Amino acid sequence: MRGSKLAPHVQGPIPSYVDDLVAAGVRYVKLMTLPDKDPWPGVRTVGRVYVEGDAGLVWDGARGADEFWRQIEPVVLSHPWVHAWEGPNEPNPVSDANYRGLLDQFTVHLARDIMLPRGLRIVGGNFSVGTPDVGHGPDFRNMLALITYLGLHEYNYPSLFAQGDAGKPWWVGRYRMLMDELRRAGCRVPPIIVGEHGIDRLLATPNNPQPSVGGWMTVNNNPAWFAGELMRADLEVYAAPEVEAVCIFTAAPYDPWGTYKLTEELARLLVPHIRANPPVDEPGPQDPKIVDLQGRLTVHPTLRYGSRKPRDIQFVVVHHSATPTSDTIPALLRIQRIADYHVNHNGWPGIGYHYIVDQAGIVYQVNHQDTVSNHTAGGNLHGLGVCLLGTYTKAPPSPVQTAAAARLIDWLGWRKVKDHHDWPGGTLCPGVAGDAVRAAISKL
């Protein structure tokens, strides 16, 4: 995402001035009190359902995720217009290694087994300000491979730019350190939603040795001052394309959050800034259109593929199908014939790829990412197979097909992209398609 990332966070009934922010062009709104109908079609609403003691449910791992879903399911299923749903809010104690492991299990089960199969997007983590601590981010590599968005909370005191160690902001902008740490560890970095943002006197920092409840109004009860802080942070701190939204805490606040309020005057001051910096999706948004063919293609009557953990995936392998590039057969029928061939001729448990991209740029998922399918001898355990329909030994795929494959791989979060012919065996697959896809990814 480019442009302004600012978004309203709303706890109670929606104030009318939130409509002004939406009219100005905000792309996201976070709601805790959800109306029956979508108030702003086209805006991405992030929903949070309050669950008493949700952080405690994490101690039960996958069973805790089942209970969390049981409590939020009625609200989630009755609001299909919500873009994405948050998991547990500010899970704690993430300093505890056992808790981190259970949070990873909890979120993997909630995402993979409950929400994603229902077509629901999930904001995972929703970590409190200053967490996870340095060195702890890679402990969540399994859930990071699955969640739609990574949720973080970023506050500071007494200003958004108060300086901390080595002259760096104490908490605001900390997401950059986490992204660097995750990338060094080979973890996927999902798009980031800063679900809460503002001034917080509860923070114990060198500037605030005696923390207590208090928002921006307790520092400087001047909306123009705080609006200036928010606009500067928006452009200077959160310009990274990985950041999708920065939610200002909070409109229509419950007690004791009144001094944190996103007021009508504050909203009015932010409107010109948002209009002047309209949010624009980066090429290759985080939500490609994917046709799910899992369970709908030919499979072997007795053989079944094995499975792996998300952390086992280390790279993408690009293939071409070696079928006619200018195909007279519809893509769905061609994919079915490939599955028939893999099962009936090769004797495999099912089709060998994970994703297929047709000549029109439509993406099809044919196996779960955790499936160890047969697409690259010697690379199946660690590789995610992406196949482009057609034959590209001499000429590259069309720009449309290439761009769709690049956006898919970018969305999956993998920058290590190999070709089938990188392994011994004499295959020419995928011809020059891999070079074309890598070049397209480099421009995203």
Q: What is the pLDDT of residues 316-343, one digit of tens each?
A: 999 999 999 988 888 889 999 999 999 9
Q: Are the beta carbons of 248 and 7 closer than 8 angstroms?
A: yes
Q: What is the pLDDT of residue 286?
A: 46
pLDDT at 14 over 90: yes
What single DSSP character describes residue 110? I
Would strands 122-127 and 243-251 be described as parallel, antiparallel, or unpaired? Answer: unpaired
| Residue 139 pLDDT > 60 | yes
- The reported pLDDT for the residue numbered 284 is 42
pLDDT at 367: 94
Domains of the chain, CATH where assigned: 6-276 (3.20.20.80), 290-442 (3.40.80.10)
Residue type, 404: A
Which amino acid is it at 10?
V
In whole angstroms, what is the distance from residue 53 CA to residue 88 CA? 9
Quote the pLDDT of residue 183: 85
Residue written as tokens 């791989």? 409
Mean pLDDT, rounded, of the chain: 91
Whether cis (ω within 30° of 0) applies to the bond prior to 301 is no
Pull the structure tokens for residue 27. Answer: 């792309």
Mean pLDDT of the region 389-416: 90
Question: pLDDT of 203-225, one tens digit each?
Answer: 766 666 777 889 999 999 999 99
pLDDT digit string, tens, across residues 168-186 = 556 889 999 999 999 888 7
* pLDDT given for residue 282 in this prediction: 61
* pLDDT tens digits along 62-81: 999 999 999 999 999 999 99
DSSP state of 116: G
Cβ neighbours of 3 (radius 10 Å): 17
- Is the pLDDT at 287 greater than 60, yes or no? no
444: exposed, middle or buried (C-beta count within 10 Å: 0-12, 13-18, 19+)? middle
The answer to whether 196 and 249 have CB atoms below 8 angstroms apart is: yes
